[in-house]
Structure 1
Amino acid sequence: MMPGASDRPLTIGITGPHLTGKSTFISRLALELRRNGYQVATIAALVERAQRLGIPILHNHSWASTMWFITRGISDELEAWVHADVILVNGAVPDALAYYHAALEHRGEEPRSTEIAQLESLVRSHSSNYNLLFRTTLETNATDGEADDEDFRRLADRWVRRVAESLEVTNVPVPSSDHDTALELAVSYVIEHG
């Protein structure tokens, strides 16, 4: 039986542009929480699954691919509710909306207001399930790839921040060069509220 809203597990989402340490952060946090005796479920980023299915990602995001990321992410999180004290979500649902905005801007396309409103509604209503959102950030001097990808990563970083700040969920910036403070905050939060 699925837990109700009052007895759902603590859920911590990790958002941020690609190549900013989300997977590293989530692995370290899961290890620390397990050391403290918590049953932890980690929800993997959906990018590899999307690539296998041929779903557009990054600067190719479409309305349909964004809807897939949002609904698949929600479904994966709900499935984990049954088996965990704490759920850690790599690439939390708000990331999909941020990446869609970044892709549209990157391509010079205007969003359709009805499509954006629908996506925003889903993201906003589901995001109330996150107890905390950590947002990895792009270092200002980061240059890990091709110029086109770096431009897109900067757009993604800006849109991830905008989307996270628009939600009524505590969101904590995590510089890719310093995860320790955020890890301490997350562990303390779980111990206090778990």
Structure 2
Amino acid sequence: MVTTQPIRIGVLGTHSTGKTMLLRRIEMELRAQGVAVERTGRLGKRAAAAGLPKMQHHTARSTEWIIAQGIADEIGAATRDAEVVLVDRAVHDAVAYFHAALEYRGDTVPRVENERLLTLAATQLPKYHLLLATVLDESVPVDTGHDYDARYRRLVDQHVHQLLDRDNIPHLRVTSNPDNQAHIVEEAVQSCLNEALV
């Protein structure tokens, strides 16, 4: 497989909806085909380690940090001879988490600040070959080691899909259905292999 620029596949969606596991499955399939893969991730934990608020406490500053760090991670991964970069939390994910946090708190942000974050995220859209958006299924149990606020989790899911639909951002929806997930993995892998042949 030979590409001049790495193929980028991004995933976004509310927490504990299988984003990381989905990318691991895609990575394993691509590696089995001899494709060099890099994966980014752990932005929320790294933001918290940097002293920034997360989840329902997100601010414009923490959102900007996550977007900027995510962009830097993608660039870094692309410089390590990756043919495919799998992005755990595509940039619009951070915007959706922020909008959900604002709604959760009954808070607002100045219009100019909101537009600035949306513009920053939008600059990255052309770099993604494929975006995958997980869909919340509250019947699937959440790891008890996580103390998630159910209302905030729902709000993030709503804002992710509203943002994608409102801006007509092309994406594939990933449900909790195993057949749907297997189909998405296969489609992502084939998309990478086909793109390499162009």
Q: TM-score when scaled to structure 1?
A: 0.91
Q: Is the 8 A contact 1:11 1:129 kept in 2?
A: yes
User: Quick one: which of 116, 133, 136 aligns to 1:135?
Assistant: 133
Give the Å deviation of 1:47.
1.3
Query: What is aligned with 1:161?
Result: 161
Are 1:19 and 2:16 an aligned pair? yes
Query: What is aligned with 1:119?
Result: 117
Query: Structure 2 counterpart of 1:12, which letter?
Result: I
Using the TM superposition, name which of 28-37 and 46-55 deviates more. Answer: 46-55
Are 1:106 and 2:108 an aligned pair? no
Give the Å deviation of 1:142.
4.7
- Percentage of pairs with the same residue: 34
Using the TM superposition, name which of 141-150 and 163-172 deviates more. Answer: 141-150
Aligned partners of 1:42 and 1:169: how far apart in 2?
Answer: 22
List per-residue Cα deviations over 1:41-77 (Å, max 9, x = no partner): 0001311211211211110000000000000000110
SS for the counterpart of 2:137 is coil
What is the RMSD of the two structures over their aligned residues, measured on CA atoms?
Answer: 1.9
Query: What is aligned with 2:170?
Result: 170
Query: Structure 1 counterpart of 2:89, which letter?
Result: G
SS for the counterpart of 1:20 is coil
SS for the counterpart of 1:87 is strand
Residue correspondence of structure 1 range 145-160 to structure 2 within 5 A? 149-160=149-160
Aligned partners of 1:70 and 1:174: how far apart in 2?
Answer: 22
Query: Structure 1 counterpart of 2:36, which letter?
Result: Q
Aligned length: 189
Provide structure 2 residue ranges, at least 5 long, that are not aligned to the other structure. none
Query: Structure 2 counterpart of 1:79, which letter?
Result: G
Q: Is the 8 A contact 1:143 1:150 kept in 2?
A: no
Query: What is aligned with 1:190?
Result: 192
Query: Structure 2 counterpart of 1:187, which letter?
Result: V
Moved over 3 A (4+): 140-148, 166-169
Give the Å deviation of 1:166.
4.0
Give the Å deviation of 1:141.
3.4
Q: Is the 8 A contact 1:131 1:170 kept in 2?
A: no
